Structure 1
Amino acid sequence: MSIKKALLIELEREKANTKRIISRLNNESFGYKPHEKSMTLGELTNHIVELHNWVDFVLSKETFDFHVDYVPTKLTSVDDLLSKLESDFEKNKAIIEQMNEEIVFEDWALKAGDHIIAAMPKTGALRFIVTNHLIHHRGQLTVYMRLLDIPVPGIYGPSADDKA
């Protein structure tokens, strides 16, 4: 299997997982915050959706600088978030389909100004900075959902709500 094919399978699977979760949300819950140090449900969901598009940042740049490149997404409805998730997927799919597979072995860095947060090959950045980060925050979102009594969908198998 090619690197492109493997990346596309993972990209599509994670998009479907995120879509399944976001589809259960309601716009009225976007202001919910389980703790004063937590993001609101809306901020967290926006971050999850924008993380999907970090595939582009990893594959098309040598560095991603939070002080220069990061603009938080601030969508306010489930429909808008699902639409962005889908459009970003299509954009990333096209990038992967057109890329030279050797690019994933090139170096990439995550920075905050002059401070290097992480430096690794792009293949590692796709796993560590994008996918693992995405899965982490998606897990947080399912806790918010549980606290709000919003049924949590199964992701890697049935959830307690799927069994009910």
Structure 2
Amino acid sequence: MYTSSIQKNILAELNHELAQTRKTIERVPFERADYKPHPKSMSLWQLATHVVNLLAFKTLFVTHDSRDFLDPNAPKPGPTPTSLDELLARFDEYSATLRQALSESDDEKLTHNFKLHRGEHVVFDYPKGTAIRIMGLNHSIHHRGQLTVYLRMLDIPVPGLYGPSADEK
């Protein structure tokens, strides 16, 4: 159902994308963690971990007003997971935290700006709702798409994300 609430629309989109992302991550073969389709590419495990860690970053957009990449005291994700079970547990934990933060927010709070910067260099300064959409959802969807290419190249069936995939027909 359509709603004019920014918060409810973002939460609905987030819930849909989280379900699709989890389906993709479930298929990542840990035994192929070092796989890279190109020397400049992230490894399969780096990419899968990045997709999961972006969830914590999205939570920052909701709960804070800025993030300085040069701040040594800024929150950072935990150590790299050493199994698919650990990665999925982190995904579930970060997803729940993000959902809760968004549920506790409201439209007015989502219009406040979030500034991402590296010292004096401003990467972006957007309303929180926009930051969540652009650097949160869109960024994650981009990397999830890369992850599906890795799966295809490893001959692992790709899940359908917006309808059936070629592997599900």
Q: Report if TM-score (shorter chain) is over 0.5.
A: yes
Aligned with residue 157 of structure 1, among 158, 163, 166? 163
Partner of 1:6: 9
Please give the secondary structure, in 1, of the residue aligned with 2:167: helix
Deviations 1:111-162 (A, max 9, x none): 1222111111111101111011001100111111111111111101111111
- Structure 1 or 2: more helix by fraction: 1
Counterpart for residue 63 of structure 2: 60
Distance 1:113 1:72, change over 3 A: farther
Aligned residues of 2:56 and 2:77 also touching (Cα < 8 A): no
Q: State the Cα distance separating 1:51 from its structure 2 match.
A: 1.2
Post-superposition offset of 1:72: 5.2
Structure 2 runs not aligned, ≥5 long: none
Whether 1:21 and 2:29 are equivalent positions in the alignment is no
State the one-letter code of the partner of 1:150: I
Identity %: 41
SS of 1:53's equivalent? helix
Residue segments in structure 1 that go unaligned for 5+ positions in a row: none
Moved more, 90-99 or 30-39: 90-99
Per-residue deviation, residues 2-37 of structure 1 (Å, max 9, x unmatched): 333222212211111111001112110111111111
Within the alignment, does 1:103 sit opposite 2:109 as a pair? Answer: yes
Shift of 1:70: 6.2
Q: Please report the TM-score for the alignment, with normalisation by the length of structure 2.
A: 0.89
Q: Is the 8 A contact 1:30 1:76 kept in 2?
A: no
Equivalent residues in 2 for 1:10-159 (5 A)? 10-68=13-71, 69=74, 71=76, 74-159=80-165
**What do residues 25-81 of structure 1 show as CA deviations (whole Å, max 9, x unaligned)?**
211011111111111110100110111222211011111222323635511221111
RMSD: 1.5
TM-score between both structures, scaled by the size of structure 1: 0.92
Is the contact between residue 51 and residue 130 of structure 1 (CA under 8 Å) also seen in structure 2?
yes
Q: Is the 8 A contact 1:15 1:85 kept in 2?
A: no
User: Which portions of structure 1, spanning 4 or more consecutive aligned residues, are displaced by more than 4 angstroms?
Assistant: none
